[in-house]
Amino acid sequence: MTTSPTPGPEGALVPAQDVSVIMLAYGVEEFLGDAVAAVLASEGIDVHLVLVDNGCTSDAVRTLPEDPRLRVLRPAENLGFSGGVNYGALEATSEHLAFVNSDAIVAPDALRILVDEVDVPGRGIVSACVRLADKPDLVNSVGNPIHVLGLSWAGGMDEPVADHQVPREIASATGACLVVTAEHWRALGGFPDDFFAYVEDLEVSWRTWQQGLSVHYVPAAVADHHYEFSRSPLKMYLVERNRLLFVLTGYGTRLLALLALPLLAFEVAIFLIALKEGWWRQKVKGWGWILRNTRWVRERRRLVQSTRTVPDKQLVHRLTDTFDPAQFPLPAGGGLVQGVLKAYWRVVRRFV
Protein backbone atom coordinates (compact mmCIF):
# COMPACT_ATOMS: atom_id res chain seq x y z
CA MET A 1 0.00 0.00 0.00
CA THR A 2 1.07 3.62 -0.46
CA THR A 3 1.87 5.30 2.81
CA SER A 4 0.70 8.70 3.92
CA PRO A 5 2.86 11.37 5.55
CA THR A 6 3.44 10.60 9.21
CA PRO A 7 3.32 13.04 12.15
CA GLY A 8 6.71 14.45 13.02
CA PRO A 9 7.90 16.77 15.81
CA GLU A 10 5.17 19.09 17.09
CA GLY A 11 2.63 17.48 14.77
CA ALA A 12 4.38 18.46 11.50
CA LEU A 13 3.81 16.05 8.64
CA VAL A 14 6.94 14.22 7.52
CA PRO A 15 6.71 12.78 3.98
CA ALA A 16 7.24 9.04 3.77
CA GLN A 17 10.40 7.74 2.12
CA ASP A 18 9.96 6.58 -1.43
CA VAL A 19 11.66 4.07 -3.70
CA SER A 20 11.55 3.30 -7.40
CA VAL A 21 11.57 -0.44 -7.96
CA ILE A 22 13.00 -1.73 -11.23
CA MET A 23 11.74 -5.14 -12.32
CA LEU A 24 12.23 -6.99 -15.61
CA ALA A 25 9.89 -9.35 -17.42
CA TYR A 26 11.16 -11.99 -19.83
CA GLY A 27 9.83 -15.34 -20.96
CA VAL A 28 6.85 -17.02 -19.32
CA GLU A 29 7.11 -15.17 -15.98
CA GLU A 30 5.15 -17.58 -13.83
CA PHE A 31 5.58 -15.53 -10.64
CA LEU A 32 5.44 -11.98 -12.03
CA GLY A 33 1.95 -11.24 -10.68
CA ASP A 34 2.95 -12.27 -7.16
CA ALA A 35 6.21 -10.30 -7.35
CA VAL A 36 4.45 -7.14 -8.52
CA ALA A 37 1.69 -7.49 -5.92
CA ALA A 38 4.26 -7.90 -3.14
CA VAL A 39 6.14 -4.76 -4.17
CA LEU A 40 2.92 -2.72 -4.36
CA ALA A 41 1.87 -4.02 -0.94
CA SER A 42 5.02 -2.65 0.69
CA GLU A 43 4.41 -0.92 4.00
CA GLY A 44 5.97 2.20 5.49
CA ILE A 45 7.26 3.50 2.17
CA ASP A 46 5.92 4.93 -1.09
CA VAL A 47 6.74 2.66 -4.03
CA HIS A 48 6.87 3.36 -7.74
CA LEU A 49 7.32 0.25 -9.87
CA VAL A 50 8.96 0.45 -13.28
CA LEU A 51 8.45 -2.83 -15.12
CA VAL A 52 10.59 -3.35 -18.21
CA ASP A 53 9.04 -5.85 -20.61
CA ASN A 54 12.14 -7.43 -22.12
CA GLY A 55 10.13 -9.99 -24.04
CA CYS A 56 7.47 -11.61 -21.88
CA THR A 57 6.05 -14.54 -23.86
CA SER A 58 2.93 -15.06 -21.75
CA ASP A 59 0.09 -12.73 -20.76
CA ALA A 60 1.73 -12.11 -17.36
CA VAL A 61 2.44 -8.43 -18.11
CA ARG A 62 -0.76 -7.73 -20.02
CA THR A 63 -2.99 -9.07 -17.25
CA LEU A 64 -1.41 -7.16 -14.37
CA PRO A 65 -4.02 -5.09 -12.49
CA GLU A 66 -3.93 -1.40 -13.28
CA ASP A 67 -2.24 0.67 -10.61
CA PRO A 68 -1.08 4.31 -10.83
CA ARG A 69 2.20 3.31 -9.19
CA LEU A 70 3.00 0.80 -11.94
CA ARG A 71 4.57 1.86 -15.22
CA VAL A 72 5.36 -0.64 -17.98
CA LEU A 73 8.17 0.09 -20.44
CA ARG A 74 8.60 -1.85 -23.67
CA PRO A 75 12.01 -1.38 -25.30
CA ALA A 76 12.38 -2.29 -28.97
CA GLU A 77 14.51 -5.33 -28.12
CA ASN A 78 15.57 -7.53 -25.23
CA LEU A 79 18.17 -5.44 -23.40
CA GLY A 80 19.22 -8.21 -21.03
CA PHE A 81 19.32 -7.75 -17.27
CA SER A 82 22.04 -5.08 -17.36
CA GLY A 83 20.54 -2.97 -20.12
CA GLY A 84 16.99 -3.53 -18.90
CA VAL A 85 17.75 -2.28 -15.40
CA ASN A 86 19.64 0.71 -16.82
CA TYR A 87 16.70 1.47 -19.10
CA GLY A 88 14.20 1.30 -16.25
CA ALA A 89 16.40 3.35 -13.90
CA LEU A 90 16.37 6.24 -16.38
CA GLU A 91 12.62 6.52 -15.79
CA ALA A 92 12.88 6.33 -11.99
CA THR A 93 11.95 9.45 -10.06
CA SER A 94 12.85 8.48 -6.48
CA GLU A 95 16.00 9.11 -4.49
CA HIS A 96 16.29 5.37 -3.91
CA LEU A 97 16.35 2.55 -6.45
CA ALA A 98 15.49 -1.07 -5.73
CA PHE A 99 16.16 -3.99 -8.06
CA VAL A 100 13.80 -6.89 -7.45
CA ASN A 101 13.68 -10.05 -9.55
CA SER A 102 10.37 -10.92 -11.19
CA ASP A 103 10.35 -14.22 -9.29
CA ALA A 104 11.22 -12.71 -5.89
CA ILE A 105 8.49 -11.96 -3.34
CA VAL A 106 9.48 -9.17 -0.97
CA ALA A 107 8.14 -9.06 2.58
CA PRO A 108 5.89 -6.06 3.33
CA ASP A 109 8.60 -4.23 5.28
CA ALA A 110 11.62 -5.30 3.22
CA LEU A 111 11.93 -2.23 0.99
CA ARG A 112 11.44 0.21 3.87
CA ILE A 113 14.15 -1.54 5.87
CA LEU A 114 16.57 -1.51 2.94
CA VAL A 115 15.95 2.17 2.21
CA ASP A 116 16.58 3.05 5.85
CA GLU A 117 19.81 1.04 5.80
CA VAL A 118 21.19 2.48 2.57
CA ASP A 119 20.73 5.98 3.99
CA VAL A 120 23.26 5.25 6.74
CA PRO A 121 26.35 7.38 5.95
CA GLY A 122 29.02 5.40 4.14
CA ARG A 123 26.65 2.82 2.68
CA GLY A 124 26.56 2.26 -1.07
CA ILE A 125 24.44 -0.85 -1.64
CA VAL A 126 22.33 -2.92 0.73
CA SER A 127 21.14 -6.44 0.02
CA ALA A 128 18.25 -8.45 1.47
CA CYS A 129 18.18 -11.88 3.03
CA VAL A 130 17.02 -13.84 -0.01
CA ARG A 131 15.44 -17.15 0.95
CA LEU A 132 14.42 -20.11 -1.17
CA ALA A 133 10.70 -19.67 -1.83
CA ASP A 134 9.97 -23.39 -1.59
CA LYS A 135 12.16 -23.76 1.52
CA PRO A 136 11.96 -20.41 3.33
CA ASP A 137 14.01 -21.65 6.25
CA LEU A 138 16.97 -22.03 3.86
CA VAL A 139 19.13 -19.40 2.21
CA ASN A 140 19.29 -18.55 -1.46
CA SER A 141 21.78 -15.72 -0.92
CA VAL A 142 23.00 -13.68 2.02
CA GLY A 143 25.54 -11.77 -0.08
CA ASN A 144 27.82 -13.23 -2.70
CA PRO A 145 31.54 -13.95 -2.24
CA ILE A 146 34.06 -12.80 -4.85
CA HIS A 147 36.85 -15.24 -5.62
CA VAL A 148 40.30 -13.90 -6.51
CA LEU A 149 39.82 -15.36 -10.02
CA GLY A 150 36.61 -13.37 -10.53
CA LEU A 151 34.11 -16.13 -9.77
CA SER A 152 31.08 -15.57 -7.59
CA TRP A 153 28.19 -17.64 -6.27
CA ALA A 154 25.11 -17.43 -4.07
CA GLY A 155 26.52 -16.96 -0.60
CA GLY A 156 25.15 -19.26 2.09
CA MET A 157 23.08 -21.27 -0.38
CA ASP A 158 21.00 -24.00 1.34
CA GLU A 159 22.23 -22.99 4.79
CA PRO A 160 19.71 -22.27 7.59
CA VAL A 161 18.41 -18.71 7.53
CA ALA A 162 18.63 -18.78 11.33
CA ASP A 163 22.43 -18.89 11.00
CA HIS A 164 22.51 -15.57 9.10
CA GLN A 165 20.72 -13.09 11.34
CA VAL A 166 23.60 -10.68 11.94
CA PRO A 167 23.99 -7.65 9.64
CA ARG A 168 27.42 -7.45 8.07
CA GLU A 169 29.54 -6.13 5.26
CA ILE A 170 29.64 -8.37 2.18
CA ALA A 171 31.84 -8.48 -0.88
CA SER A 172 28.92 -8.38 -3.30
CA ALA A 173 25.16 -7.87 -3.14
CA THR A 174 22.72 -10.16 -4.89
CA GLY A 175 20.82 -8.59 -7.76
CA ALA A 176 17.67 -10.48 -6.73
CA CYS A 177 16.83 -7.82 -4.15
CA LEU A 178 19.00 -4.80 -3.43
CA VAL A 179 18.67 -1.06 -2.85
CA VAL A 180 20.99 1.76 -3.88
CA THR A 181 20.59 5.51 -3.77
CA ALA A 182 19.92 7.16 -7.13
CA GLU A 183 22.91 9.41 -6.48
CA HIS A 184 25.30 6.49 -6.10
CA TRP A 185 23.75 4.70 -9.07
CA ARG A 186 24.46 7.73 -11.25
CA ALA A 187 28.02 7.89 -9.89
CA LEU A 188 28.50 4.23 -10.85
CA GLY A 189 27.05 4.84 -14.29
CA GLY A 190 24.78 1.84 -13.82
CA PHE A 191 25.54 -1.67 -15.00
CA PRO A 192 27.78 -2.18 -18.04
CA ASP A 193 25.24 -2.63 -20.85
CA ASP A 194 27.58 -5.00 -22.68
CA PHE A 195 27.46 -7.52 -19.84
CA PHE A 196 23.85 -8.23 -20.89
CA ALA A 197 23.29 -10.60 -17.95
CA TYR A 198 25.23 -12.17 -15.05
CA VAL A 199 28.12 -10.82 -12.95
CA GLU A 200 26.76 -7.26 -13.13
CA ASP A 201 25.81 -7.23 -9.42
CA LEU A 202 29.35 -8.31 -8.55
CA GLU A 203 30.78 -5.60 -10.82
CA VAL A 204 28.84 -2.70 -9.28
CA SER A 205 29.49 -4.03 -5.78
CA TRP A 206 33.25 -4.05 -6.35
CA ARG A 207 33.13 -0.56 -7.85
CA THR A 208 31.14 0.57 -4.82
CA TRP A 209 33.99 -0.60 -2.58
CA GLN A 210 36.46 1.07 -4.94
CA GLN A 211 34.61 4.37 -4.53
CA GLY A 212 34.87 4.31 -0.76
CA LEU A 213 31.36 3.09 0.08
CA SER A 214 30.32 -0.20 1.62
CA VAL A 215 28.05 -3.08 0.63
CA HIS A 216 25.89 -4.52 3.41
CA TYR A 217 23.73 -7.57 4.07
CA VAL A 218 20.53 -6.73 5.94
CA PRO A 219 18.89 -9.88 7.40
CA ALA A 220 15.76 -8.07 8.61
CA ALA A 221 14.78 -7.38 4.99
CA VAL A 222 13.46 -10.62 3.52
CA ALA A 223 12.59 -11.76 0.01
CA ASP A 224 11.57 -15.26 -1.07
CA HIS A 225 13.09 -16.21 -4.41
CA HIS A 226 11.78 -18.89 -6.77
CA TYR A 227 15.39 -19.66 -7.63
CA GLU A 228 16.29 -22.01 -10.46
CA PHE A 229 19.91 -22.69 -11.35
CA SER A 230 20.70 -23.66 -14.91
CA ARG A 231 23.80 -24.29 -16.93
CA SER A 232 22.38 -23.26 -20.28
CA PRO A 233 24.90 -22.59 -23.07
CA LEU A 234 23.99 -18.88 -23.09
CA LYS A 235 24.42 -18.61 -19.33
CA MET A 236 27.82 -20.28 -19.31
CA TYR A 237 28.97 -18.05 -22.19
CA LEU A 238 27.88 -14.89 -20.40
CA VAL A 239 29.10 -15.91 -16.94
CA GLU A 240 32.57 -16.84 -18.16
CA ARG A 241 32.92 -13.88 -20.54
CA ASN A 242 31.73 -11.40 -17.92
CA ARG A 243 33.99 -12.90 -15.26
CA LEU A 244 36.96 -12.12 -17.46
CA LEU A 245 35.62 -8.65 -18.27
CA PHE A 246 35.23 -7.94 -14.56
CA VAL A 247 38.80 -9.02 -13.81
CA LEU A 248 40.30 -7.20 -16.80
CA THR A 249 38.55 -3.92 -16.04
CA GLY A 250 38.05 -3.99 -12.27
CA TYR A 251 41.42 -5.14 -10.95
CA GLY A 252 44.27 -2.66 -10.70
CA THR A 253 47.43 -3.17 -12.75
CA ARG A 254 49.52 -4.67 -9.96
CA LEU A 255 46.76 -7.04 -8.77
CA LEU A 256 46.13 -8.16 -12.33
CA ALA A 257 49.84 -8.80 -12.89
CA LEU A 258 50.19 -10.80 -9.66
CA LEU A 259 47.19 -12.96 -10.61
CA ALA A 260 48.16 -13.38 -14.28
CA LEU A 261 49.65 -16.86 -13.83
CA PRO A 262 46.75 -18.43 -11.87
CA LEU A 263 44.24 -16.69 -14.15
CA LEU A 264 45.86 -18.25 -17.23
CA ALA A 265 46.05 -21.63 -15.54
CA PHE A 266 42.38 -21.40 -14.61
CA GLU A 267 41.45 -20.59 -18.20
CA VAL A 268 43.04 -23.88 -19.25
CA ALA A 269 41.28 -25.76 -16.44
CA ILE A 270 37.86 -24.26 -17.11
CA PHE A 271 38.20 -24.96 -20.83
CA LEU A 272 38.89 -28.63 -20.07
CA ILE A 273 35.81 -28.70 -17.84
CA ALA A 274 33.77 -27.03 -20.59
CA LEU A 275 35.09 -29.59 -23.08
CA LYS A 276 33.97 -32.42 -20.82
CA GLU A 277 30.54 -30.88 -20.14
CA GLY A 278 29.90 -29.89 -23.74
CA TRP A 279 29.88 -26.09 -23.58
CA TRP A 280 33.42 -25.46 -24.84
CA ARG A 281 32.11 -23.56 -27.88
CA GLN A 282 30.55 -21.00 -25.53
CA LYS A 283 33.84 -20.64 -23.67
CA VAL A 284 35.68 -20.02 -26.94
CA LYS A 285 32.93 -17.61 -27.99
CA GLY A 286 33.60 -15.58 -24.86
CA TRP A 287 37.30 -15.34 -25.68
CA GLY A 288 36.37 -14.28 -29.19
CA TRP A 289 34.11 -11.49 -27.97
CA ILE A 290 36.88 -10.07 -25.79
CA LEU A 291 39.45 -10.23 -28.60
CA ARG A 292 37.07 -8.47 -31.00
CA ASN A 293 36.25 -5.79 -28.44
CA THR A 294 39.65 -4.94 -26.97
CA ARG A 295 38.94 -1.24 -27.50
CA TRP A 296 35.82 -1.50 -25.33
CA VAL A 297 37.81 -3.37 -22.68
CA ARG A 298 40.52 -0.69 -22.65
CA GLU A 299 38.02 2.15 -22.45
CA ARG A 300 36.01 0.42 -19.76
CA ARG A 301 39.15 -0.28 -17.75
CA ARG A 302 40.24 3.35 -18.07
CA LEU A 303 36.82 4.52 -16.81
CA VAL A 304 36.68 2.11 -13.86
CA GLN A 305 40.24 2.74 -12.72
CA SER A 306 39.98 6.53 -13.09
CA THR A 307 36.85 6.77 -10.91
CA ARG A 308 38.12 4.67 -8.02
CA THR A 309 39.38 6.26 -4.80
CA VAL A 310 40.38 3.15 -2.82
CA PRO A 311 43.44 1.09 -3.87
CA ASP A 312 43.33 -2.69 -4.24
CA LYS A 313 45.64 -3.03 -1.23
CA GLN A 314 42.73 -1.96 0.98
CA LEU A 315 40.24 -4.22 -0.79
CA VAL A 316 41.94 -7.58 -1.35
CA HIS A 317 40.86 -8.88 2.06
CA ARG A 318 37.34 -8.93 0.65
CA LEU A 319 38.33 -11.53 -1.93
CA THR A 320 38.20 -15.22 -1.09
CA ASP A 321 40.67 -17.88 -2.24
CA THR A 322 38.35 -20.79 -1.41
CA PHE A 323 35.73 -22.32 -3.70
CA ASP A 324 32.38 -23.27 -2.19
CA PRO A 325 32.41 -27.08 -2.57
CA ALA A 326 28.59 -27.17 -2.64
CA GLN A 327 28.42 -24.95 -5.70
CA PHE A 328 31.81 -25.61 -7.28
CA PRO A 329 32.53 -29.32 -6.88
CA LEU A 330 36.23 -29.75 -7.52
CA PRO A 331 37.33 -32.41 -10.02
CA ALA A 332 39.91 -35.04 -9.19
CA GLY A 333 43.05 -33.25 -8.10
CA GLY A 334 41.13 -30.02 -7.59
CA GLY A 335 41.82 -29.93 -3.87
CA LEU A 336 45.56 -29.93 -4.52
CA VAL A 337 45.22 -27.15 -7.09
CA GLN A 338 43.15 -25.06 -4.69
CA GLY A 339 45.77 -25.58 -2.00
CA VAL A 340 48.48 -24.30 -4.34
CA LEU A 341 46.33 -21.27 -5.26
CA LYS A 342 45.68 -20.48 -1.59
CA ALA A 343 49.38 -20.65 -0.78
CA TYR A 344 50.24 -18.50 -3.80
CA TRP A 345 47.60 -15.92 -2.87
CA ARG A 346 48.82 -15.69 0.73
CA VAL A 347 52.25 -14.72 -0.60
CA VAL A 348 51.41 -12.35 -3.46
CA ARG A 349 48.64 -10.41 -1.73
CA ARG A 350 51.34 -8.80 0.42
CA PHE A 351 52.70 -7.11 -2.72
CA VAL A 352 49.41 -5.66 -3.99
- Parent domain of 322: 233-351
Q: Is residue 240 part of a domain?
A: yes
Domain identity same for 58 and 193: yes
Domain identity same for 49 and 192: yes
Mean pLDDT, residues 160-185: 98
226 and 31 in contact (C-beta within 8 Å)? Answer: yes
Q: Please provide the size of the chain in residues.
A: 352
d(CA 262, CA 268) in angstroms, rounded, equals 10
Domain identity same for 267 and 304: yes
Domain identity same for 41 and 186: yes
286 and 239 in contact (C-beta within 8 Å)? Answer: no
Please, which pLDDT band fits residue 228 given cuts at 50, 70 and 90?
Answer: confident
Q: Is residue 1 part of a domain?
A: no
Domain identity same for 320 and 256: yes
Q: Is residue 280 part of a domain?
A: yes
Rounded alpha-carbon distances, angstroms, from residue 75 to 55, 103, 161, 270: 9, 21, 38, 35
Local structure of residue 212 (DSSP, 8 states) = T
Residues 6+ apart with CB under 8 A from 216: 117, 123, 125, 126, 127, 167, 168, 169, 170
Domain identity same for 174 and 147: yes
Identify the domain boundary among 166, 196, 225.
225
Domain identity same for 171 and 107: yes
Per residue in 4-31, pLDDT (tens digit) is 454 544 554 445 799 999 999 999 999 9
Dihedral angle over CA of 36, 46, 99, 162, nearest 10: -90
pLDDT value at 329 more than 90: no
Domain identity same for 57 and 147: yes
Per residue in 307-322, pLDDT (tens digit) is 999 999 999 999 999 9
Identify the domain boundary among 202, 225, 248.
225
Q: Which residues pair with 71 in a beta bridge?
A: 50
Q: Is residue 82 part of a domain?
A: yes
Please, which pLDDT band fits residue 334 given cuts at 50, 70 and 90?
Answer: confident
CA neighbours closer than 13 Å in the CB half-sphere of residue 46: 13
Straight-line distance from the first to the last Cα atom of the chain, in angstroms, rounded to the nearest whole number: 50
Q: Is residue 78 part of a domain?
A: yes
| pLDDT the model gives residue 335 | 79
Domain identity same for 36 and 177: yes
| pLDDT the model gives residue 274 | 93
Q: What are the backbone angles phi and psi of residue 305, rounded to the nearest 5°?
A: -70, -30
Domain identity same for 173 and 138: yes
Identify the domain boundary among 208, 225, 242.
225
Q: What is the CATH number of the domain that holds 97?
A: 3.90.550.10
- Domain total of the chain: 2
Using DSSP bridges, classify how beta strands 18-27 and 46-56 pair: parallel, antiparallel or unpaired: parallel
Q: Is residue 144 part of a domain?
A: yes
Per residue in 88-114, pLDDT (tens digit) is 999 999 999 999 999 999 999 999 999
Per residue in 253-282, pLDDT (tens digit) is 999 999 999 999 999 999 999 999 999 999
Domain identity same for 292 and 213: no
125 and 180 in contact (C-beta within 8 Å)? Answer: yes
| pLDDT the model gives residue 82 | 97
Domain identity same for 38 and 17: yes
Q: Is residue 272 part of a domain?
A: yes
Q: What are the backbone angles phi and psi of residue 112, rounded to the nearest 5°?
A: -60, -45
| pLDDT the model gives residue 301 | 98
Question: Where on the phi/psi map is residue 339: left (φ > 0), alpha (ψ -120 to 50), or beta?
Answer: alpha
| pLDDT the model gives residue 51 | 98
| pLDDT the model gives residue 337 | 81
Per residue in 60-70, pLDDT (tens digit) is 999 999 999 99
Q: Is residue 136 part of a domain?
A: yes
Q: How many CB atoms lie within 10 A of CB 66?
A: 5
